[in-house]
Structure 1
């Protein structure tokens, strides 16, 4: 048994707080495991599948590292941070690969409690940190991006900058050499783990410099810390960076008297110039263009065609309203407001906490640039909430009995955590793919070779490469407008155009990997095609692909497959936008209709659909915004796999085709409304109706969820 005095030791109490908060965070994340384990469709290879689409990129990279090789130009995340970390976990633990990628986020993301409590401990209010850690670890946005199965770099994307902030605050309060050397170490680790953290790292360093100039301008250790952190930013090999940092730190630790203010200023100027020369400003400019100004880099690269701007289609970078914003950060509006009050009070009491403002500002950027940024504000405002509760407790303890006050505080904290706990209960995210979809891709792995390509929408690029071990044109990291144009064209246009474009885009993509950097092929594949086929007008070139006499002169080097999942129907309208755009002016000159829906009920003899359309109960007409239109044809699908459907002509002058899908594998897709352009698309004809040109394609996989066609040309 432990002695009673042992629990009075402040370090013991600190450890128990960290351990308790860590276990709490892990336990909350295990709820999804418990819930998802009830559904067989979420399992593959005897383990639950992951819930993060991008996670399959790192899973592919880790898989290739375990195998010891990968194909040239296959876009594998070989040696990426999370891939490498997973590889080492796999090598030193007895767990299966699928188990590691499922649970890794549970244990790494819960580490957020450590720096939060440590920072609070520096302010002699570890209880405030404990309360903040409980809230931050399960706040809506942080939980959503770090839950079980969310295998992505998000699991440490907030933890690591919090450690940087901890050592900054510790340096301010203690001015110790340990904090001095830990700062560049964690900056370097953060950049390795998440290269996009470059902007936040620069912001943290810049703000720390401003803070030092205002409050500690005569203390050399602060300038030295800034120089050491800046040394980790240049685009040079990590071992060069480490050598420079260690040498400078050693000289400063042994001969600090030589490091006068003037010398440090000159050293700092030299470091900053070197940072600029090495391209240190470029990542910041790119982030500003993409998230703030919403520009598409592909337009600048091509100097010609104006492709569809992809960042307008990503929900994570869309602005959000204030209520959603507050709930994602603090799980409820009341807790959010209390957190803001507490954070202001914390600044008044401990001015060094303002070093967290870059993270807070990045979190507030979500109001303009997308909900993905809210996770950065979560721990900062959680600090505010924890400190407010702590301060109220300290005030009340002076007037009332400790037991009564503690009971009230515990009750208040529990009630504040309840919205987050309820969110965990209702946030039952599905796996990226169903068991059947993963099984079919695993089957494709046995059919296709590693050098073959699968043409599919970018949402499915990473999972396809992971399960089928093939190449893809696009994925979650390569999906600018100029990239997405080709799969969109192949899925949206008629079958001959689709076949020709699938072949050309694959062959030219492979050629582009070996083209000189200044080649037109490296800038824009479509323009390179036009040049080789002696066509200067893009519309004429694209139209020529639909002609039977169009001859592909480009040599065939590999097989090409086209992947068509049922789930793609829900986003097909967005997919079509990428190829129906006018490439000369960037406008959508060809309006089209493709809308999925499910019935909400009946009202006044009409069937009300979830997309706002009202159908007549005889399925002959529909009403959109009080405008009545006749239906051209009604198509009733009994089985997509068996091509069992019945088409009922209604009005030859009707504008719309209405699909009714019996036994739909996705409950929210029971009706599909489309116009003639979409009806004639390769996706609709080949997947839903089974009408594919056997001279162009072979059907190699056929299920209710997925169809895969092999290109013959």
Structure 2
């Protein structure tokens, strides 16, 4: 048994605080496991599936690493950091692969508790860090992106910069060599783990330099710290970086007398010049263009076509309102305001906490750049919350009984955590795919070859590659406007156009991997097609794909499958947007309608739908939310999508809209779909909903209520 004196040791207390906060974070994340385990549709291979779409990219990479190979140009995340870490954990643990990817985020993301407690300990206030760790570990945005099943790099994307900040603060306060040598290596690990962290690392290093110039301008150890960190940003191999850092560190330790101000300035300038020449500022420019100026790289790559800007369709990069912003960071508005007050007080008390401002500012960028950034502000404001509670506790200890004060503190902290507990309870995220969908794709794996392509929307690219072991045109990492144009065209145009474009886009995509980097084929596949088919007008070229006499001269090298899931009904309007535009202007040629909805109420002979449309109860007319009335052309009653069991009831030949009524739908929250003629004639609607596919162009190889898979015959 432990002796009482052990618990008086500050290191023991520090360890117990870290351990308690860590276990608290892990236990909270197990609630989703408990909840999801009730539903069989969330299981595959006797384990719960993951909840993050992008996670399947790393799962595919880890799977390929275990197999020891992957196909050329299959876009596999082979050797990616998360894939590599997963590979080693799987290799040296007794757990199944599915269990490893399910639980990794639970145990790794909870490591956030360690640097928070350690940072507070540097200020002789470990209790403040303990309170901060409790809040930060389960705050809304951090929990959402690190919960059980959220298999993605986010599990360490906040932990690692917090360790960088810890060693920066420790170096500032102690001026010790241990912090000096570990600081650049944590920057290096962070860059390896999450290459997009380059901008944040530059900001942290720049702020550290600015802080040094203001408060420690005569102390050389801080300048050498900046130089060592800058070396890790250079575009050279990690072992060269490590060697240079270690050699320079040793030189500083044993020959400190050489490190005068002039020498450091020269050394710093040489490092900075090398950094710029190696393309060091390119990642910063890209982040600014995409998230702040909202420009799409595909627009700059092509001189003629204006594609649909993909970042306009991603919720994570949309601006958010203030209330959502505060709740995502601190779980409630009240705790957010308390945290702001505490952080201001913390800066006044310990000026070195200013070094955390780059992370805080990046979190506040969410108000402009999108909700995904709020995660960065979570631990910083949590420190403010923890220190304010600690400060108030210390004040009241002078007036009141220790036990009474501690009880009040515990009660207040618990009440502050209740919004986070409630969020965990209600945030019941589904798995990316259902058991039926995963089984369907696993079946496709036995039909298709590894070199074959599946054409579908980018949302499903990673999971399809993981379960079916095939290639895809687009995925969560490759979906610029110029990429998404092709699957959008295949799904939203007529079947012959879809078939021709599917074959052309796949074959040209494969050829593009071997083309020179500055060739037209690498810059814009559509323009390369037009050049090869002797057509200068894009509209004429695209229209020609619908003709029966269109001849594909490009040799067929592989089979192509088209995946049409029922869930695509939710986003089909967005999907169609990428190809139903004028490529010369970027504007829509004409408005189109595809709107899925469910009934809200039946009032005075009208059925009110969730999309704002009011239907007459005889299904002959409709009224939009702006009171504009319109007639129904045809009413389609679907009894079974899988069995192609439906009735088409003509209503008004002059009507503009087609109304689908889906009985026994496998699609949650969809019972009605309203569309115009353009959408009604699309390949997706005709082939998936109505089973009306051209037997000369396609074979139906998989048919379920959740999805259909067609094999291209040309």
Q: TM-score range by the shorter chain?
A: over 0.9
User: Where does residue 644 of structure 2 map in the other structure?
Assistant: 643
Distance 1:303 1:30 in 2: 51
Distance 2:352 2:712 in 1: 63
Deviations 1:248-269 (A, max 9, x none): 0111111111111110110000
Distance 1:303 1:266 in 2: 43
Deviations 1:368-417 (A, max 9, x none): 11000000000000001101110110111100111111111111000000
Matches within 5 A, 1:103-182: 103-182=103-182
User: Where does residue 707 of structure 1 map in the other structure?
Assistant: 708
SS at match of 2:696: coil
Matched, 1:383 2:397: no
Distance 2:271 2:277 in 1: 10
Distance 1:696 1:637 in 2: 25
SS at match of 2:232: coil
Structure 2 unaligned blocks of 5 or more: none
Please, which moves more after superposition, 282-291 or 515-524? 515-524
Matches within 5 A, 1:377-526: 377-526=377-526
**TM-score for both structures, normalised by structure 2:** 1.00
Distance 1:585 1:617 in 2: 41
User: Where does residue 24 of structure 1 map in the other structure?
Assistant: 24
Matches within 5 A, 1:231-630: 231-624=231-624, 625-630=626-631
User: How far is 1:665 from its partner?
Assistant: 1.1
Q: Runs in 1 of length 4+ with deviation above 4 angstroms?
A: none
Q: Residues 74 and 471 of structure 1 are in contact (CA less than 8 Å); yes or no, is this contact kept in structure 2?
A: yes
SS at match of 2:112: helix
User: Where does residue 652 of structure 1 map in the other structure?
Assistant: 653
User: How far is 1:590 from its partner?
Assistant: 2.0
Matches within 5 A, 1:75-94: 75-94=75-94
Number of positions where the alignment pairs a residue of Structure 1 with one of Structure 2? 713
Matched, 1:687 2:696: no
Distance 2:96 2:546 in 1: 48
Q: Residues 598 and 667 of structure 1 are in contact (CA less than 8 Å); yes or no, is this contact kept in structure 2?
A: no
Distance 1:197 1:671 in 2: 44
User: Where does residue 632 of structure 1 map in the other structure?
Assistant: 633
User: How far is 1:666 from its partner?
Assistant: 2.1
User: How far is 1:628 from its partner?
Assistant: 1.3
Q: Residues 658 and 673 of structure 1 are in contact (CA less than 8 Å); yes or no, is this contact kept in structure 2?
A: yes
Distance 1:359 1:515 in 2: 41
Distance 2:194 2:440 in 1: 32
Distance 1:652 1:133 in 2: 65
User: How far is 1:304 from its partner?
Assistant: 1.4
RMSD after superposition:
0.5
User: Where does residue 57 of structure 1 map in the other structure?
Assistant: 57
Matches within 5 A, 1:193-212: 193-212=193-212
Distance 1:644 1:266 in 2: 78
Distance 2:543 2:344 in 1: 62
Distance 1:667 1:104 in 2: 30
Deviations 1:507-534 (A, max 9, x none): 0000000001121101000000000000
Distance 1:43 1:446 in 2: 20
Distance 1:613 1:193 in 2: 47
Please, which moves more after superposition, 371-380 or 655-664? 655-664
Distance 1:666 1:27 in 2: 33
Distance 1:291 1:522 in 2: 24
Distance 1:221 1:358 in 2: 22
Distance 2:635 2:156 in 1: 51
Distance 2:355 2:603 in 1: 58
User: How far is 1:604 from its partner?
Assistant: 2.0
User: How far is 1:667 from its partner?
Assistant: 2.2
SS at match of 1:645: strand
SS at match of 1:231: helix
SS at match of 1:303: coil
Deviations 1:641-678 (A, max 9, x none): 00001111111111111111111112211111100000
Distance 1:356 1:665 in 2: 48
Distance 1:270 1:590 in 2: 56
Please, which moves more after superposition, 400-409 or 309-318? 400-409
Deviations 1:111-131 (A, max 9, x none): 000000000000011111000
User: How far is 1:603 from its partner?
Assistant: 1.8
User: How far is 1:619 from its partner?
Assistant: 1.0
Structure 1 unaligned blocks of 5 or more: none
Please, which moves more after superposition, 418-427 or 399-408? 399-408
Deviations 1:70-127 (A, max 9, x none): 0000000000000000000011101000000000000000000000000000001111
Deviations 1:135-180 (A, max 9, x none): 0000000000000000000000000000000000000000000000
Distance 1:467 1:667 in 2: 23
Q: Residues 164 and 183 of structure 1 are in contact (CA less than 8 Å); yes or no, is this contact kept in structure 2?
A: yes
Distance 1:375 1:531 in 2: 46
Distance 2:176 2:326 in 1: 37
Q: Residues 57 and 76 of structure 1 are in contact (CA less than 8 Å); yes or no, is this contact kept in structure 2?
A: yes
Please, which moves more after superposition, 533-542 or 254-263? 254-263
Distance 2:334 2:268 in 1: 45
Deviations 1:241-284 (A, max 9, x none): 11111110111111111111110110000000000000000000
Distance 1:427 1:618 in 2: 39
Deviations 1:174-203 (A, max 9, x none): 000000011110000000000000000000
